[in-house]
């Protein structure tokens, strides 16, 4: 059966992340992807995770503490647009993931925004390893979601094919605006 965007995002990460890698969860939310990445990078790897909401930060810290994996994760209570402030200039990123939208069961007005998402993508591309991947899963059913989806689509289409393979994965016959996945792979 075809994978949902969520399951496909995990497959894409699994294929490219190995023990010892440095990776980024750009939108930690409740920490599901942060935990998944912490398992993939192993004891010698590092996950940098970002969110602007204390609720997300606390939920993720608790999830990682319970899994006894907090030591390989740096949690940053700040926007992903500041990602370069938390990486060494020569620190290469093997993968990053964004889940765009709002935190489930939380304030629907606190959403990711086109300008800061683009700034974070620009920054992460400068640190991305060859064969590394940036995955963007766009939830766009909320107010402001369609504009952000359009901005990400335009951004991805503008990336030069000499340097990047870019994929868009979308179910086109489903109701209720299922998320759309983009994957940028550096050549």
Residue 163 Cβ vs ligand SAM, minimum distance, rounded to whole Å = 25
Residues 125-164 that bind ligand SAM (CB under 6 A): 139
Select from 4, 58, 74, 116 the one that contacts ligand SAM (CB under 6 A).
116
Roughly what angle, to the nearest 10 degrees, separates helices 32-41 and 54-66?
A: 40
The H or E element that residue 12 is part of is helix 5-16
Q: Which is nearer to ligand SAM, 10 or 46 (CB)?
A: 10
Phi-psi region of 162 (alpha: psi -120 to 50; beta: other; left: phi over 0): alpha
Give the contact letters, 33-72, x = binds to ligand SAM (CB under 6 A), - = no. Answer: x----------------xxxx--x----------------
Select from 29, 45, 132, 145 the one that contacts ligand SAM (CB under 6 A).
29
Residue closest to 114 by CA, chosen among 138, 135, 90: 138
Burial status of residue 132 (CB atoms within 10 A of its CB: 0-12, 13-18, 19 or more): buried
Residue 159 Cβ vs ligand SAM, minimum distance, rounded to whole Å = 21
For residue 86, give both structure tokens.
């938390």
Binding site for ligand SAM (CB under 6 A): 26-27, 29-33, 50-53, 56, 79-81, 99, 101-103, 110, 112, 116, 139
């Amino acid at each position: 059966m075809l994978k949902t965007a969520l399951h496909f995002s995990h497959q894409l990460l699994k294929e490219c992340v190995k023990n010892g890698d440095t990776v980024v969860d750009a939108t930690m939310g409740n920490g599901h992807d942060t935990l998944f990445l912490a398992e993939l990078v192993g004891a010698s790897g590092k996950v940098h995770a970002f969110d602007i909401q204390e609720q997300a930060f606390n939920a993720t810290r608790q999830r990682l503490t319970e899994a006894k994996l907090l030591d390989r994760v740096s949690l940053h209570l700040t926007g992903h647009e500041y990602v370069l402030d938390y990486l060494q200039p020569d620190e290469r990123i093997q993968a990053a993931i964004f889940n765009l939208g709002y935190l489930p069961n939380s304030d629907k007005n606190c959403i990711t925004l086109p300008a800061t998402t683009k700034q974070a993508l620009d920054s992460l591309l400068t640190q991305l390893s060859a064969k590394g991947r940036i995955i963007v899963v766009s939830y766009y059913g909320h107010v402001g979601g369609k504009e952000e989806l359009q901005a990400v689509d335009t951004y991805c289409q503008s990336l030069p094919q000499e340097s990047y393979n870019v994929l868009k994965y979308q179910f086109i016959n489903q109701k209720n605006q299922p998320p759309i996945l983009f994957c940028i792979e550096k050549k």
